[in-house]
Amino acid sequence: MPTTKALLFGQRRDRAVGLVIGFAGAVTLALVVAFAAESAGAATATALTDRLLPVLVFYAPGPLAAAGAYARCGGPACLAVGVVPALVLGGFVLLGTLVGVPGVNGGNPAIGDVTVSFAAIGMTSAFVGYCAGVTAVLAADLLGIGGSDGADGDGE
């Protein structure tokens, strides 16, 4: 039962917070670099961010959620990874609109649709990744590899 509780609710809050905050920082940094490179017209930086940003936004939540489940960060943290790109994008657009950054248009009605789409894609990816991580943990426990989940410290 400690494994199930650890998988569902998490037992390593520092890792869970680090997972979500670290991913949010990576997405924010990539988005700011992409915007700055696009504004400056730097072709090399734009080419790099054109490849890096989609990987972070669309493909990274699944593997990160799987790793979080395997590390027993809990379902809420693993699923939160899925909405990070949407929240960062929405926050970036909102802040850019409030501050008046040229090129950031929060008045566009499609930005809400894009944000919701990012959230749906990220949550789906994170859910599938979380399920894969839970399956990996349960398979490792069944095969007797991996050791204790660390819930009670006695190595059960």
**Is the pTM above the cut of 0.85?**
no
Flag whether 150 is in a domain: no
* Residue-wise pLDDT tens digits, 66-109: 999 888 888 899 999 999 998 998 888 888 778 777 666 656 66
Flag whether 148 is in a domain: no
Flag whether 151 is in a domain: no
Flag whether 111 is in a domain: yes
Q: Write the CB contacts of 129 (distance below 8 Å, at least 6 apart in sequence).
A: 61, 62, 63, 64, 65, 66, 69, 78
| Whole-number Å distance between alpha carbons of 60 and 24 | 11
Flag whether 135 is in a domain: yes
Q: Given a cut of 90, is residue 57 above it in pLDDT? A: no
| Residue 104 confidence (pLDDT) | 66
User: Domain containing 116: what range?
Assistant: 2-143
Structural domain count of the chain: 1
Closest CA to 126 of 71, 66, 53: 66
